[in-house]
């Protein structure tokens, strides 16, 4: 039997995980609809952006 707090933290983590996956999927979907040149610009921006953000 799980403690209530543990159950809650698992539920919250799962919810955050789902939100992140949904964001990734929406981004992927957007990239599918985006012309190739725009994607290359985005990729270059990501490469040149510092990793700290």
CB atoms within 10 A of CB 3: 8
Please report, for the chain, the start and end positions of each structural domain, with discontinuous segments joined by +. Answer: 4-48
Regarding predicted confidence, which is higher, 25 or 52? 25
What does the block give as tokens for 29? 């979907």
Report residue 53's pLDDT band, with 50, 70 and 90 as the boundaries: very low
Tens of pLDDT along 23-37? 999 998 887 887 777
Mean per-residue pLDDT over the chain, rounded: 80
Interval 9-36 mean pLDDT: 88
Question: Where does the pLDDT of residue 49 fall: very low under 50, low under 70, confident under 90, or very high at 90 and above?
Answer: low
- pTM metric for this prediction: 0.46
Annotate 1-53 with DSSP letters as a single string: ---HHHHHHHHHHHHHHHHHHHHHHHHHHHHHHS-HHHHHHHHHHHHHS-TT-
């Amino acid at each position: 039997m799980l403690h209530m707090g543990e159950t809650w933290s698992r539920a919250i983590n799962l919810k955050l995980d789902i939100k992140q996956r949904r964001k990734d999927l929406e981004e992927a979907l957007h990239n599918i609809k985006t012309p190739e040149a725009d994607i290359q610009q985005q990729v270059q921006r990501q490469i040149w952006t510092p990793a700290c953000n």
